Amino acid sequence: MLGRTANGLYWMFRYIERAENIARLIDAGLRMSLTRSGTGDDDWDGVLQSAGVRETFDEGHSKLTSADAIDYLLRDRSNPSSVMSCVDYGRNNARMVRTALTRETWEATNEFWIELKSLLSKRLKAAEMPEAIDAIKHRAGLIRGAFHGSMLRNELYNFARIGTFIERADNTSRILDVKYYVLLPSVSAVGTSIDNIQWESILRSVSAHRSYSWAYDGEYRSMNIADFLILNGQMPRSLAYCYEKIVSELGYLAKDYGERLPAHDTADSIRKTLQTRAIKEIMDQGLHEFLEDFVTRNNQLGMEISDGYRFYA
């Protein structure tokens, strides 16, 4: 396959994943502003940080209001990580690699774009938000379903999946990093109700507030939450889970191509860290430092894959 096609697939799936994750972040932010008394605008500061757009937001806005933040995250095309921008880029990449996608996968992507364009043609009112967020999650789910149900399990599939999981790992680690301080045991050993809300918001932004209760017997404890999102191999948005998948997809590529690349070693070593470290050890050595280091290595892996498999745009 063309290096350009591999690149297009990889980015198509990164952008679709990002669109969905941004929608989850907005969802969590909305929820916070409903449950907290007083001004909810501060919460959006954290959401913008998690989305990695806190600074660019300031370039176009003199102050932070929840309405502006939501609009910036959802619709603003000057924000390359807004849901609308992500779906635009994702679909453009899909058009470029059209021949690499099954008809079902392409149609699901194209319909996502068509629906979103009309859904986000104007600023949404607060009352319209839940429906919009649902539609985005729903559409992204349809792409995933069509992709799983119809694509050949070959290199195309591997590159697309790698894009998904590198993006997802990046998102989860950023969400954690923005809120890492509320998870530090030193702040309070037992969660106050404010902490509980903060923690639930973290879980909600990865759509895991229900599954968490199943996995940890409904106990909200900062250590467990960090464990869930970083090390729990059953949690589909945890760093450990993402790296299981990345290593496995890279393994198929190595077999198919008959060679291992530097990317394989990098991925193996990241996975090893996630397999062997205990959450307490990570917390003791510094959660923030751990996450920062992870984001850097995750990015590095992305670049090694891109070089090793001769991606180009």
Partner 1 sequence: MITGGESPRQPYEKYFEWYSNQDRAHLIAKSRDAENIFRKTGITFAVYGHADSSEKLIPFDIIPRIISGREWRKLAQGIEQRVIALNAFLDDIYHKQEIIRAGRIPRELIERNDAFLPEMIGFRPPGGVYTHIVGTDIVRTGEDEFYVLEDNARTPSGVSYMLENRETMMQMFPDLFHANKVRPVEDYPYLLRQSLASLAPPGCKGKPRVAVLTPGIYNSAYYEHSFLADTMGVELVEGSDLRVIDGKVKMRTTRGYEAIDVLYRRVDDDFLDPLTFRPDSALGIPGIMDVYRSGNITIANAPGTGISDDKAIYSYMPEIVEFYTGRKPILENVPTWRCSEPQSLKYVLEHLEELVVKEVHGSGGYGMLVGPTATKKERADFAEKLKAKPANYIAQPTLSLSTVPILVNKGIAPRHVDLRPYVLVSDKVQIIPGGLTRVALKEGSLVVNSSQGGGTKDTWVLED
Radius of gyration of the chain (CA): 19
Distance in Å, CB of 151 to partner 1, minimum: 13
Distance in Å, CB of 309 to partner 1, minimum: 4
Tell me which long-range contacts 124-128 makes (C-beta under 8 A, separation of at least 24).
Answer: 124/70, 124/71, 124/74, 124/75
Choose the stretch contacting partner 1; rule: CB under 8 A; options: 104-112, 141-149, 170-178, 274-282.
104-112
Q: Residue 110 to residues 18, 98, 117, 144, 177: CA-CA distances in angstroms?
A: 17, 11, 11, 13, 33
Of the two residues 28 and 253, which places its CB atom closer to partner 1 in the complex? 253
- Size, binding site for partner 1 by CB under 8 A: 23
Distance in Å, CB of 21 to partner 1, minimum: 25
By the rule CB under 8 A, 126 interacts with partner 1 = no
Of the two residues 148 and 310, which places its CB atom closer to partner 1 in the complex? 310
**3-state class of 233 per DSSP?**
coil
Cα separation, 195 vs 264, in Å, equals 39
- DSSP H or E run through 30: helix 3-35
**Helix 239-257 with 155-178: angle, nearest 10 deg:** 160
Distance in Å, CB of 42 to partner 1, minimum: 40
By the rule CB under 8 A, 147 interacts with partner 1 = no
Choose the stretch contacting partner 1; rule: CB under 8 A; options: 93-101, 127-135, 223-231, 294-302.
93-101
By the rule CB under 8 A, 303 interacts with partner 1 = no
By the rule CB under 8 A, 4 interacts with partner 1 = yes
Within 10 Å of residue 313's Cβ, how many Cβ atoms? 9
276-295 residues in contact with partner 1 (CB under 8 A) are: none
CA torsion 278→280→281→287, rounded to 10°?
110
Of the two residues 103 and 288, which places its CB atom closer to partner 1 in the complex? 103
Of the two residues 6 and 160, which places its CB atom closer to partner 1 in the complex? 6
Alpha helices in 97-238 (DSSP H): 103-119, 129-150, 155-178, 180-183, 193-204, 209-215, 222-230
Cα separation, 268 vs 297, in Å, equals 12
Choose the stretch contacting partner 1; rule: CB under 8 A; options: 107-115, 140-148, 205-213, 237-245.
107-115
Q: Give residue for tokens 């993402």.
A: 242
Choose the stretch contacting partner 1; rule: CB under 8 A; options: 82-90, 108-116, 141-149, 221-229.
108-116
By the rule CB under 8 A, 95 interacts with partner 1 = yes
154-213 residues in contact with partner 1 (CB under 8 A) are: 155
Please select the residue that binds partner 1; options are 138, 257, 269, 280, rule is CB under 8 A: 257
List contacts with partner 1 (CB under 8 A): 1-6, 92, 95-96, 98-99, 103, 106-107, 110-111, 114, 155, 257, 309-312
